[in-house]
Amino acid sequence: MQFPVIIKPNFEGGSDGIFLKNIVNSHTQLQRIIRQLFLKQYDSVVVESFIMGKEVTVAIVGNGADLCVYHPREVVFPLEKQTQGLSILSQPIKNNKKLRDKLKLYSMPLNEDRATVLKVKKIAARVFRILKLRIMQE
């Protein structure tokens, strides 16, 4: 495994369980964060390579053949210094409007060429299926 990695709860949305401390650079840190997440009742976690760059979010609606993947959006962090240079949509940022306003956080449609946008959408759908995510229907 190459560091840094980010640890996220599986089967959660809205950045639940995601904090800056979830970006780790060692096996010791990795074990500590996974243990903390399990103690908070998260059943499973995902460990991904952490790649510095744009924070992109993709909305997905539906299941199976009815999956609809929307245009990706970039989350823009104009004041990166205040997030320690790590531009991630963490639980505190997502759940605190005052903090988002302080950071001057906003989102906009991902401004990349068509091929890149299609690739992002395809990857998002593939990850959705690999992780066996489902949109709950009433």
Q: What single letter denotes the amino acid at residue 47?
A: V
Q: What single letter denotes the amino acid at residue 25?
A: N
| Mean pLDDT of the 27-56 span | 91
CB 107 within 8 A of CB 57: yes
Please give the biggest Cα pair distance in the chain.
Answer: 43
Model confidence pTM above 0.85: no
| 31: helix, strand or coil | helix
User: Please, which residues bridge with residue 57 across strands?
Assistant: 73
Of 120 and 65, the structure prediction assigns the larger pLDDT to: 120
Average pLDDT taken over every residue of the chain:
87
Detail the DSSP E strand segments found in 11-122.
Answer: 23-24, 45-49, 55-57, 60-61, 68-69, 73-76, 106-109
Q: What confidence tens digit (pLDDT) does each residue in 96-113 have?
A: 899 888 888 889 999 999
pLDDT of residue 137: 64
What does the chain come to in residues?
138
Q: What six digits make up the tokens of 71? A: 């245009």
pLDDT band with cut points at 50, 70 and 90 for residue 121: very high
| 7: helix, strand or coil | strand
In the numeric block, the tokens 């103690």 are attached to: 39
Say whether pLDDT at 73 is over 80. Answer: yes
What whole-number distance in Å separates Cα of residue 18 and Cα of residue 94? 10
Q: How much is the CA Rg of the chain, to the nearest whole Å?
A: 16
